[in-house]
């Protein structure tokens, strides 16, 4: 049976998904929510702190150094460079939609954005600072004294720095992807191939881990369900242990937070080790080691076309 004829046969089966006037109500993927209402003074303060290199011990590194909003909220390196000029241990995930993750960091060691911020500032490989130093530095700046005083009754404190940054990060929602428009009822916004790609994404089982509002980032999963990824890749590192480093539970060895696929087309390289240079490489690895299947070239192409519809906007422009 030709692939073209096979796809024609599928049209009646896909039905509402492809041609109806509104998207199905029970889709396993959900559109992004609106940006939550936040205190505007704290949002603006958080924005400034996000771009503030004095959060690092030597004034060389800000949050924005690695989480570049113009680069999909990450950077284009396998491993970002820390304050000392050395690479960090994990690939930098996107800050966009991070507030919707059920945990932060690849190994899920932080429950909240505030805890994530707390750790990064003190990390010996990232910012290398400490909170006493950060509070003293910001308190000595009259502009920050004034802005913290307006936003918080108790002024510059560790908790207020973390809260301001987290408040700003909660506004970093990459809305209005074409797929979100589709989920909200504009079924003509996607091409037929992109709709078939979504169907293949579900049929092959990608949806089992990448679902919900963030299309992932709501569960843990072993990297290498259907094969030993790390043996094939070679050169194992401590970070490959994943969640085991947090729990010391043998069942958590090589287990990681499932990443969000939002904006995946613009956030290469991929995985905790930054080993997949292209989206095509990443899809190949997922099929081999997570699904244990070999897709047709057509199906792989369709899925990649679908994944490219997940790119949202920031500041009124596509990422």
Kindly give, in sequence order, each residue whose CB lies less than 8 Å from that of residue 298, ignoring residues fewer than 6 positions away.
Answer: 3
H helices then E strands: how many in the chain? 14, 4
126 assigned to active site: yes
Q: How far apart are the first and last CA of the chain?
A: 39
Q: Cα(105)–Cα(72) distance, rounded to whole angstroms? A: 17
The angle that helices 131-139 and 158-169 make with each other, rounded to 10 degrees, is 90
Kindly give, in sequence order, each residue whose CB lies less than 8 Å from that of residue 83, ignoring residues fewer than 6 positions away.
Answer: 56, 57, 58, 60, 61, 126, 127, 128, 129
C-alpha closest to that of 315 among 30, 72, 90: 72
Catalytic residue among 52, 114, 126, 194: 126
Residue with the two structure tokens 């937070």: 257
Q: Which residues are catalytic?
A: 126
């Amino acid at each position: 049976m030709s692939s073209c004829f096979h796809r024609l046969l599928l049209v009646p089966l896909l039905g509402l998904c492809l041609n109806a006037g509104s998207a199905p109500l029970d889709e396993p993927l959900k559109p992004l929510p609106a940006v939550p209402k936040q205190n505007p003074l704290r949002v603006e303060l958080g924005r400034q702190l996000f771009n503030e290199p004095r959060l690092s011990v030597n004034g060389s590194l800000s949050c924005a150094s690695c989480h570049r909003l113009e680069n999909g909220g990450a950077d284009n390196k396998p491993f970002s460079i820390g304050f000392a000029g050395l690479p960090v241990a994990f690939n930098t995930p996107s800050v966009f939609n991070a507030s919707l993750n059920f945990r932060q960091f690849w190994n899920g060691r932080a429950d909240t954005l505030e805890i994530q911020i707390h750790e990064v500032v003190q990390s010996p490989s990232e910012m290398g600072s400490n909170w006493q130093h950060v509070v003293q530095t910001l308190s000595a700046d009259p502009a920050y004294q004034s802005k913290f005083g307006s936003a918080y009754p108790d002024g510059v404190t560790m908790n207020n720095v973390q809260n301001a940054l987290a408040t700003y990060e909660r506004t970093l929602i990459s809305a209005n992807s074409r797929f979100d428009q589709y989920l909200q009822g504009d079924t003509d916004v996607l091409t037929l191939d992109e709709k078939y790609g979504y169907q293949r994404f579900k049929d092959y089982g990608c949806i089992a881990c990448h679902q919900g509002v963030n299309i992932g980032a709501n569960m843990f999963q072993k990297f290498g369900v259907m094969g030993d990824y790390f043996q094939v890749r070679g050169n194992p590192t401590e970070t490959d242990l994943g969640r085991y480093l947090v729990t010391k539970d043998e069942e958590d060895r090589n287990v990681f937070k499932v990443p969000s696929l939002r904006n995946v087309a613009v956030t290469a390289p991929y995985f905790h080790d930054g080993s997949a240079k292209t989206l095509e490489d990443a899809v190949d690895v997922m099929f081999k080691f997570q699904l244990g299947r070999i897709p047709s070239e057509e199906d792989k192409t369709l899925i990649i076309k679908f994944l490219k519809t997940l790119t949202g906007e920031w500041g009124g422009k596509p990422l």
